[in-house]
C-alpha cells in the first residue's frame, strides 16, 4: 500500500470514529457504555495521528544531510548579513570570527596612534578592514552608543562601519569596509618604497576633488547627523581613495558625539600631532572647529606634497633641532607673489595648473587654521567656497603661536626660550611678539556672489 492510500484510509478511519462518537452520544446518552465507546475512539484517533506524524518525519524529503543543513544555514546568513549592511545596523562580531577573518591578525595593513588595522575576509566573502583599538578609556556603554551613531551614518564619502567586537578586559575592534587604493598620504607624499602599499602622485584635479569630498564628509558629520559627530583625527592617513579616486573619510575610532545644544566639549587630548588645533593644548574645550583646523592642515599638505613640519637640521641633540613650518612658508610666499612655488613640484613638471584654484585652496586652508576658532569657517561654508558658491576673501594673518608639540625646539637667546618655526617666537612668560593682525567677525569672513 503506498503512502497516499494509507493517509486516505487513516482519514476515513478518523471521520468514522468521530461519527461513531456522535451516534453513541445520541442513543446511549451519558451512560457507562457511552464513555467506554468514547474512550476507545479517542485512543484510536490519537494513535492514528501519532502514526501520521512519525510516517511524515521518515520521508526522504525531510531528512537533510548535515552538510546540506550547514549549506542552507550559510545561504540564509548571507542575505541576513547583506540586509544588516544595507540597513546600517552594526553587527556584533565574535572574537573568533575576526581572528579567522584576519588569519590570526597577521594581515597588518596599517598602524596608528590608537591601534592597528588588519585586512580580513568575512565568512560571506566580504573584504573588511579590522581596527584593533588598544587602551580604550571609554566605558562599554559609551563605546556602544558611539558605535550605534557611527554605524547609522550613510554618506558616499564616509567609510562604512560593518560592526564591532568587545573583548572583556581586552581590546575593542571596529570592522569597516575595505578600500583598495589605500590612504591619501601614499598619493601626495614622496615615498621611497611603494611596493608594500598603493600610491603614486595624485594629479592636481583629483587633489581638488578630494578636498571637496573630505569637506562634504565632515560637513555631514557636523551638521546633518542626529547627533553631531566630531572626527578628531583628520589627517591624510585617515582619508582613503576608492577605485575612482573618490575620497572616503575613515577611522572613527577616536570620534566623539556632541549634542546639538552643545557648543564645546572637554575631553582628553586625541588625534595626531601636527593636526591638533590650538584649543586642544590650551584646554579651552573643543568643537567642530577643531576638525576644521585639522582639515586646513591637510589641505596645505595636499597642495605642497609635503608634511607641514619638516626637520631642517637633524642633529643628534633634539633640543637643538630646527624645524620648518610649512603654513608659515605659504604665508610668506603669498605675500611675495610666489604662491606657485609652494605647489608640489611633481605637479608642475610639464603640466598646467590653474593658479586661481591653487589660490582658492590656499585661502581656504589659511582660513581653516586660524588660531582663534571663531574666525574659522564651518565645514558647510568650506564646501560652498570650494564649489564656488561663496567668494573666498584673503584671510588675515594668524599668529601661529602654537605650532606643534613635535616642532618645538628651544635655544636660549638673550635669556628667552624661542620656538624655532620659521620666525614664530614664544617667550618664557607666554607673551608673543608677532605683527598685529586684524580682527574679523564671522560675518565678515565671506561675502556672497
CB 208 within 8 A of CB 355: no
CB 123 within 8 A of CB 175: no
By CB atoms closer than 10 A (0-12, 13-18, 19+), residue 335 is exposed
CA dihedral 291, 293, 297, 299 (to 10 degrees): 70
Looking at the DSSP assignment, which residues form a beta bridge with residue 130? 118, 175
CB 238 within 8 A of CB 276: no
Give 104-111 contacts, CB < 8 A, sequence gap 24+.
105/130, 105/132, 109/197, 110/183, 110/237
Q: Which of 430, 428, 429, 408 is nearest to 419 (CA)?
A: 408
Q: What are phi and psi of 265, to 5 degrees?
A: -135, 155
Strands 91-92 vs 161-166: parallel, antiparallel or unpaired? parallel
Per-residue exposure over 315-332, b if at least 16 CB sit within 10 Å of its own CB, e if not: eeeeeebbbbbbbbbbbe
Q: What are phi and psi of 294, to 5 degrees?
A: -60, -40
Q: How many CB atoms lie within 10 A of CB 225?
A: 17
DSSP count for the chain of H helices, then E strands:
13, 16
The cell for 339 is: 604662491
Which residues, other chains included, contact 127 with Cβ-Cβ below 8 Å and sequence gap of 6+?
Answer: 119, 120, 121, 177, 178
Q: Is the dihedral of CA 5, 8, 13, 14 positive or negative?
A: positive
Cite the active site residues. 233
CA dihedral 422, 424, 426, 432 (to 10 degrees): 160
The span from the CA of 288 to the CA of 379, in Å, is 8
The span from the CA of 51 to the CA of 418, in Å, is 96
CB 10 within 8 A of CB 2: no
Length of the chain: 449
Q: At what angle do helices 355-368 and 326-335 cross, to 10 degrees?
A: 130
Amino acid at each position: 500500500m503506498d503512502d497516499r492510500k494509507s493517509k486516505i484510509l487513516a482519514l476515513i478511519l478518523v471521520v468514522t470514529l468521530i461519527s461513531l462518537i456522535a451516534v453513541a452520544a445520541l442513543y446511549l446518552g451519558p451512560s457507562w457504555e457511552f464513555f467506554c465507546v468514547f474512550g476507545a475512539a479517542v485512543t484510536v484517533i490519537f494513535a492514528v495521528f501519532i502514526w501520521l506524524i512519525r510516517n511524515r518525519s521518515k520521508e526522504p524529503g525531510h531528512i537533510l544531510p548535515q552538510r546540506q543543513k550547514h549549506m542552507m544555514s550559510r545561504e540564509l546568513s548571507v542575505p541576513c548579513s547583506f540586509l544588516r549592511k544595507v540597513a546600517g545596523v552594526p553587527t556584533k562580531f565574535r572574537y573568533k570570527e575576526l581572528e579567522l577573518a584576519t588569519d590570526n591578525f597577521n594581515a597588518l595593513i596599517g598602524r596608528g596612534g590608537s591601534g592597528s588595522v588588519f585586512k580580513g575576509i568575512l565568512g560571506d566573502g566580504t573584504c573588511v578592514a579590522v581596527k584593533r583599538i588598544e587602551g580604550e578609556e571609554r566605558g562599554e556603554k559609551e563605546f556602544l552608543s558611539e558605535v550605534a551613531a557611527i554605524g547609522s551614518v550613510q554618506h558616499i564619502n564616509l567609510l562604512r562601519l560593518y560592526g564591532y567586537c568587545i573583548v572583556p578586559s581586552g581590546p575593542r575592534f571596529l570592522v569597516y569596509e575595505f578600500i583598495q587604493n589605500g590612504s591619501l598620504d601614499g598619493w601626495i607624499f614622496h615615498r621611497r618604497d611603494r611596493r608594500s602599499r598603493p600610491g603614486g602622485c595624485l594629479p592636481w584635479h583629483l587633489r581638488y576633488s578630494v578636498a571637496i569630498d573630505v569637506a562634504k564628509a565632515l560637513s555631514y558629520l557636523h551638521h546633518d547627523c542626529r547627533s553631531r559627530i566630531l572626527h578628531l583625527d583628520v589627517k591624510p592617513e585617515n582619508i582613503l581613495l576608492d577605485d575612482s579616486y573618490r575620497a572616503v573619510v575613515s577611522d572613527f575610532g577616536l570620534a566623539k558625539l556632541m549634542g546639538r545644544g552643545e557648543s564645546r566639549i572637554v575631553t582628553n587630548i586625541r588625534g595626531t600631532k601636527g593636526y591638533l588645533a590650538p584649543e586642544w593644548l590650551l584646554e579651552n574645550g573643543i568643537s567642530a572647529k577643531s576638525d576644521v583646523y585639522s582639515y586646513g592642515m591637510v589641505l596645505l599638505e595636499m597642495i605642497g606634497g609635503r608634511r607641514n613640519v619638516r626637520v631642517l637640521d637633524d642633529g643628534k641633540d633634539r633640543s637643538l633641532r630646527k624645524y620648518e613650518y610649512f603654513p608659515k612658508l605659504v604665508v610668506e610666499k603669498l605675500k611675495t607673489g610666489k604662491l606657485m612655488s609652494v605647489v608640489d613640484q611633481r605637479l608642475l613638471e610639464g603640466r598646467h595648473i590653474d593658479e586661481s584654484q591653487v589660490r582658492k585652496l590656499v585661502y581656504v586652508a589659511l582660513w581653516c587654521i586660524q588660531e582663534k576658532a571663531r574666525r574659522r569657517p564651518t565645514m558647510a561654508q568650506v564646501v560652498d567656497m570650494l564649489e564656488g558658491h561663496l567668494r573666498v576673501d584673503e584671510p588675515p594673518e594668524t599668529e601661529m603661536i602654537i605650532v606643534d608639540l613635535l616642532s618645538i625646539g628651544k635655544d636660549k637667546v638673550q635669556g628667552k626660550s624661542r620656538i624655532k618655526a620659521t620666525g614664530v617666537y614664544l617667550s618664557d612668560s607666554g607673551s608673543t611678539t608677532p605683527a598685529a593682525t586684524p580682527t574679523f567677525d564671522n560675518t565678515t569672513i565671506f561675502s556672497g556672489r
